[in-house]
Structure 1
């Protein structure tokens, strides 16, 4: 059974659009490729046909995975997010206790994570370390560089 993932309304719509595109346009394009390969002669020795059938199998696998993701997706209403503790879709301002550097991250699902945009996954070491903390708490995060300590300065949405 797939695990439930939480998404912003925008990301959920993006996932549904991608799935719809794969089902309609992707399958249509794949059928054309198979038909073109079939027209080239003997199927038993037609490498192009075999490749097109393999690509079709991969497309169907991707569609199946996307359907599972969409079926297990939960859309979060940002207005109902509790800002007393760090949770999914919380915007967290933290301060590195060692060097005093302050950073703001938004906690999101794995699929939405984008470090350049300041979005970190709730399943990453940072996301796990910050989850459930309140303003003033210290989060100890085990990073590749060693154990880091961060003070939670602010939680918003």
Structure 2
């Protein structure tokens, strides 16, 4: 069984989410279920059903996080020294060769990927195209909306 890589920061973020779910959300949801139960007839009790749905989601997420974190391999990116080559954990500055738009991404584990925070999964097409390249290299990859051409303008690790 291979261990999924995760950054130290990502591991800390996911552990904080796990703690919040277990020690803040779970007790709040249990209290909401108890209060809704006290209202009587559970068949037509929307508050009860909503609280049960929240409980189901929270328990599922807790199980998912516990399972993933127990098998993940935490990689401290600050201890890596690959020079200007792109490896797991790299923060990469890119420039779209077609539009000139500059973007910055960090390559992280699948579980911690969040495009809104510019964290891309190591298994994504763009990350797979970046791995092994160096600052100044140009590359292309196939995105869902066609082939994209980028130049790597910077590689750093924090």
TM beyond 0.5: yes
Displacement after TM superposition at 1:16 (Å) = 0.8
- Structure 2 gaps of 5+ residues are none
Seen in structure 2, the aligned counterparts of structure 1 residues 61 and 2 have a Cα distance that, compared at 3 Å, is farther
Q: Which residue of 2 aligns with 1:113?
A: 114
Larger Rg: 1
Partner secondary structure for residue 105 of structure 1: strand
> RMSD of aligned C-alpha atoms?
3.1
Matches within 5 A, 1:85-96: 85-96=85-96
Supply the distance in 1 between the matched residues of 2:40 and 2:10 (Cα, whole angstroms). Answer: 44
Displacement after TM superposition at 1:105 (Å) = 3.4
Seen in structure 2, the aligned counterparts of structure 1 residues 42 and 80 have a Cα distance that, compared at 3 Å, is same
Displacement after TM superposition at 1:140 (Å) = 1.9
Partner secondary structure for residue 35 of structure 2: helix
Supply the distance in 2 between the matched residues of 1:113 and 1:51 (Cα, whole angstroms). Answer: 27
- Structure 1 gaps of 5+ residues are none
Displacement after TM superposition at 1:23 (Å) = 1.0
1:76 aligns with 2:75: yes
Matches within 5 A, 1:137-148: 137-148=137-148
In the superposition, the TM-score normalised over structure 2's length comes to 0.74
Seen in structure 2, the aligned counterparts of structure 1 residues 80 and 53 have a Cα distance that, compared at 3 Å, is same
Deviant stretches of 4+, over 6 Å: none
In the superposition, the TM-score normalised over structure 1's length comes to 0.74
Displacement after TM superposition at 1:156 (Å) = 2.8
